[in-house]
Structure 1
Amino acid sequence: MSALVRLEVEAGIGTIRIDRPPMNALNAEIQHAFVEVCREAAERADIAAVVVYGGEKVFAAGADVKEMATMSYTDMVEHSSLLQDFTRALARIPKPTVAAVTGYALGGGCEVALACDWRVCADDARLGQPEILLGIIPGAGGTQRLARLVGPAKAKDIVFSGRFVDAQEALAIGLVDRVVPAADVYSAARELVARYVGGPRFAVRAAKEAIDRGLEVDLETGLEIERQLFAGLFATKDQETGMRSFVEQGPGKATFEGA
């Protein structure tokens, strides 16, 4: 496992830590390691939720341009699959995920944040997709996830211009979910997902799958996905525990074993 990406576990929360000073440029080594760490976080039973964090100074300032600048078209045809895989691995973690954004989240860094369920942002942070200024476009999901999050018009504004978005604008347009002082970003991100530790993991997993898959299909197909997942939960301990507790003690009293 690369020292540039670590998985740290405490109190049921896994932190995926990107650690390549000074700017956490996302080179191929980090991308490969990130995929493996995401898969581990997805599978580990002692992890109920995940925080992605780049440290106190910067989240990630994008892909390693020096590495990409030497690549040919043929090289990039192959490498572009890795670009998609490393953010897809994060998006597919079947647990609540949050990006703790400090400093800059640009290019691939912004795309990592977009692949999370939520984004907690420092009040002095800057986010953006400046790839257009390099003569390219976002390649790790930015054109797709950003448009789904903030709408196509605002996404085109951000992608076409390559401009940086400050924390307050990011909050206003729905690019981030919470803005806090820089010193509080990591603790605020942990606080956001801590509520899911000890909760009904099968049900949360099903809810995330229903929402994410539903966004990719038409309404009728989405309703069918929801129906199947809903019915499937009646074969789990989550449903048995939750409903028995509700009948016997009232709402909000259940203690779940988790998955």
Structure 2
Amino acid sequence: MGYLKVEREEEIVQITINRQDKLNAMNLDVMNEFITLLDGLEKDSSKVIIITGDGPKAFSAGADIEYMSSIGPTEAEKYALRGHEVLNKIEKLEKPVIAAVNGYALGGGCELALACDI
């Protein structure tokens, strides 16, 4: 893990997308970390999850265009499906998920915010 910063305070978990230099855009590694983390949070004692982006400029610019431009069609399909999996997991969590939108929420970043409950 390295792209998601996780902080816990009692029953509140804050997940920060930690790619400020890329406006917190999500590549496949970020999405894989999200899946692993969300799987664990489904079963733990936390009551509320907050998702935000690192820095004052962007919540998330969505897809990492630089990453996408370097992959072929098969990898692109895997990337898109993984993105849907992250959003579906957030939507289906039985705990409230809050999007702390702290700047740009573009494309998939807007979708990420919309997948949250608040």
Segments of 5+ residues of structure 1 without an aligned counterpart are 119-259
Displacement, 1:56?
4.0
Kindly indicate which of the two structures has a greater share of residues assigned to strand: 2
CA contact (8 A) 1:7 1:37 kept: no
Distance 1:101 1:78 in 2: 27
Deviations 1:83-138 (A, max 9, x none): 111111211221011100011011111111111001xxxxxxxxxxxxxxxxxxxx
Displacement, 1:67?
1.0
Displacement, 1:30?
0.5
Displacement, 1:18?
0.8
CA contact (8 A) 2:87 2:111 kept: yes
Give the structure 2 partner of residue 70 of structure 1: 70
Distance 1:29 1:75 in 2: 13
Larger Rg over CA atoms: 1
1:13 is the counterpart of 2:12: yes
Give the structure 2 partner of residue 98 of structure 1: 98
Give the structure 2 partner of residue 32 of structure 1: 32
Q: How many residues align?
A: 116
Distance 1:8 1:74 in 2: 35
RMSD of the alignment, in Å? 1.4
For 1:51, give the aligned amino acid: I
Displacement, 1:78?
2.5
Q: How does 1:157-196 map to 2 (within 5 A)?
A: none
Displacement, 1:70?
2.5
Q: Which structure has the higher relative contact order (CA within 8 Å, separation 6+)?
A: 2
CA contact (8 A) 2:49 2:97 kept: yes
Identity %: 32
Kindly indicate which of the two structures has a greater share of residues assigned to helix: 1
Secondary structure of residue in 1 paired with 2:20: coil
Give the structure 2 partner of residue 3 of structure 1: 2
CA contact (8 A) 2:7 2:15 kept: yes
